[in-house]
Structure 1
């Protein structure tokens, strides 16, 4: 059985707790949390949910309480029936349109519309079915970059999840060499299955995708296949700040970096870290509360 702990508070309080969670270096990875608004017509009323695979202990609730500055809100604890909650939560997701892309689960039909690229992404244990604002924002940003004349011959999708952003890059730049990585060992099987479903060829050549398990940029395959014209990373603000010094050297001069997974309030810290790594802002989009950044490596920049 699994358990859930829920707390209700105003938006600023929950967002502060989510940021504190990202900054908590000793956070128990067995406690998974998320935050969202309670209802569309109540934008300032938010909830924080925490999922555990065991009955919550005092140490667990203390860890959650420590995320809040001042007095923590009250916690509601409930036992959940045996099920894969990630898959269950995604099964009824509606299709989305972002840029030239239409993304849907197998429960919904594909579209045949001139100029649109259709992807079928089943609900799975990996992040990135397209419905989250950060993923949709990345699809829109990649479309914008293509329309601005960006040419990509070699790209990497860091923290790929389902593989969707790598698939999108291959659709926009069909001759690119694509590499995808994720820290989660479940992802290679998910990406390979999704690639087969969407006609993406797994392999090392032009127009093909290679998948590996890696923490950030620190992997021999990622080093060997770089430097890249384009790196995409839809993860979290904390890891983006930490990885910024690695992104710069991994890009060719003038190369492109697309970042997502950061709230607008976290954007200054991410941009500052990228600036120190020789990256300048080319464009930004906001989707809901989330920022999507397109940055470029300075042509005359070199690490000191």
Structure 2
């Protein structure tokens, strides 16, 4: 145990939800800080708080960087305090309760003794980057692929774009253990963390059936992602704008009759995202609404092939 520091700022609920899955640009710091968001007063549902734990006193630049993550706190004074002789990683994770979604159980090391019998369980340590399945979009994606499995869907080629901790790729592999799965993220740190989580959860890395291949890439801009297409299941838990921008590329990479699970979008953005994919021959098959977030499942329509009648001699 050693001294550590905590930076506290007020934030809105929407800002807190976004930060649960994305701590950029703080992820570029070494060591990476731990972010925690919490509700201040149940009677004021939009008033939340951001606590950021550092291993050393944050610089003025780091404080300014953190303030930019929560624009609503532009006029608030940051509170920076030293925490004496505390295991700050353990403290920061104490409130991260395990997540149960369908047959999945996602937990931090502090809850290793709580894994229920028969669950598909993954240990995801939040000490380096926040993303244990707590965020509604990640948990919603787990719920969606669990529904696909319950419906008897079978997939052989799967891509997880914007994988983060690797959790959704791990979940897909558990449901379809013979599938070939590739997962990507634009952030090299995320891929490093996904590799560590794969080792913790005994996920074999590689390009063969039942294995997971990890690559650093923005969208589908990687030779391995292009080479392994088309996919019959594509998962992308990113943000609404890149989902819309990537619609043509995602559509091209998805097999006819294939499925797509899209997340990272607020509920009021769902129609715009669905519309972008409708123009690419996708139909909206299902949606899950979680608080202010929406998870979409889309199906790629098959082309109607008309056969010309044989000419008479």
TM-score range, shorter chain: 0.7 to 0.9
Max Rg structure = 2
Deviation of the 1:102 alpha carbon: 0.6
**What TM-score comes out, normalization by structure 1 length?**
0.78
Deviation at residue 55 of structure 1 after TM alignment? 1.9
Q: CA deviation at 1:278?
A: 2.2
1:3, 1:77 within 8 Å by CA — same for their partners in 2? no
Cα-to-partner distance string for 1:43-74 (whole Å, 9 max, x where unaligned): 243567899964269x9799789x67xxx973
1:76 aligned partner:
77
Whether 1:261 and 2:264 are equivalent positions in the alignment is: yes
On the 8 A contact 2:26/2:66 being kept in 1, the answer is: no
- Structure 1 31/119 Cα, relative in aligned 2: closer, same or farther at 3 Å? closer
1:42 aligns to what SS in structure 2?
A: coil
1:21-170 equivalences under 5 Å are 29=25, 37-46=39-48, 54-55=59-60, 74-79=75-80, 89-90=92-93, 92-108=95-111, 109-114=113-118, 116-170=119-173
- Unaligned runs of at least 5 residues, structure 1: 23-27
The separation in 2 between residues aligned to 1:118 and 1:64, in whole angstroms, is 32
CA distance in structure 1 between the aligned counterparts of 2:136 and 2:196, rounded to whole angstroms: 24
Partner SS state of residue 187, structure 2: coil
C-alpha separation in 2, matches of 1:49 and 1:93:
14
Q: Out of 211, 215, 221, which is 1:208 matched to?
A: 211
Give every structure 1 segment of 4 or more consecutive aligned residues whose post-TM-superposition deviation is greater than 4 Å. 1-5, 28-37, 46-54, 59-65, 80-88
Judged with a 3 Å threshold, the aligned counterparts in structure 2 of structure 1 residues 214 and 61 are, in CA distance, closer, same or farther, namely closer
Structure 1 pair 92–141 and aligned structure 2 pair: CA distance change class (3 A) = same
Question: How far apart, CA to CA, are the structure 2 residues paired with 1:41 and 1:293?
Answer: 31
- Rounded to whole Å, the distance in 2 between the matches of 1:111 and 1:226 is 36
| Alpha-carbon distance in 1 for matches of 2:66, 2:126 | 30
1:128-181 CA deviation, whole Å, 9 max, x = no partner?
311111111111111011111211101011111111100100111111001011
- The Cα of 1:80 is off from its aligned counterpart by 5.4
* Deviating more after overlay: 84-93 vs 190-199: 84-93
Q: Is the 8 A contact 2:180 2:212 kept in 1?
A: yes
Higher mean C-alpha deviation, range 241-250 or range 41-50: 41-50
Cα RMSD of the aligned pairs, angstroms, is 3.7
| 2:241 paired with 1:218 | no
Q: Which residue of 1 aligns with 2:281?
A: 278
Partner SS for 2:165: coil
Q: TM-score, normalised by structure 2?
A: 0.76
